Amino acid sequence: MDIQPRDVELGILVEGKSPEELRERIRNLTTKLIDVDGALYARYSNGTERRLYCRYKEGLEGEETASTKGVGYYQKMVLVFRAFDPFWYETGLLESKSAQNFVYYKNNGDYAAYPIVMVDGRCSNPDLAIWQTGGPGEPAEGSSERLKVNTTVAANRRLIVNMKQRTVKLDNGTNLYASIDSTANKFHSIPPRSANNFAVDVDIDGPESDGRYHV
């Protein structure tokens, strides 16, 4: 099956009380979108949500127009996002835990699942392990079956590990792929229809009660 990327359009309206304020808002939006892996969310009337992983492609260009709704300026834009994985996924957050505890997950679907793990700062050298219960147990520290990021995550920052895209970034877009440990560098997937649960754990340097992560 040949799966092709898809482009998704999203119309927006940016308003400002002056040309200067309008331009500043567009500059801020540009900074947040350029060269950042992100996602679009769709919420349906039955309460379910879906997420499409994508990157900004084009559309921030436009012409300033004097608003007819009152004093001010506005700019209409149609933003285009490129999704190299064209499928919409459920948005469910499994659990949030302190670094002292595990998160358990069982994949009952037909395809492999790729967790997204978010680690809150402040913490140092987050070390992620995913393993199937009922077997040898958690991989040892330094094992090639783990994924360790040799960095310090500042307070009020969040480290995001995307197993499917094989990316390690801060929530401000900073790429930390070069900080991945030379040995503990495995990006895990969870196979479908597994007999047992899979456990997820994040260790950090220092008191684990201070660390928190989300899957």
The CATH number of 93-214 is which of 1.10.3720.10, 3.40.50.2300, 2.60.120.860, 3.30.230.30?
Answer: 2.60.120.860
Look at residue 94 in the predicted model and tell me its pLDDT: 56
In this prediction, residue 34 has a pLDDT band, given cuts at 50, 70 and 90, of: confident
The model's pLDDT over 186-205, given as tens digits with 9 standing for 90+, comes to 999 888 887 788 888 888 88
> Encoding tokens for residue 215?
């899957």
Alpha-carbon distance 177 to 199, whole Å? 24
Domain boundaries, the chain: 6-89, 93-214
Angle at 213 (CA atoms; ends 177, 93), nearest 5 degrees: 100
Q: pLDDT per residue over 131-183, tens digit each?
A: 998 888 899 999 999 999 999 999 888 898 999 889 999 888 899 999 999 99
Helix, strand, coil share (%) of the chain residues, nearest 5? 10, 45, 45
Distance between CA atoms of 67 and 75, rounded to whole angstroms?
9
CB 51 within 8 A of CB 88: yes
- Residue, of 26 and 61, whose pLDDT is higher: 26
Question: Which CATH number applies to 6-89?
Answer: 2.40.30.200
Short-list 183, 164, 166, 167, CA closest to 175 = 167
For 38-70, what is each residue's pLDDT tens digit?
Answer: 788 887 787 777 778 888 999 987 677 776 555
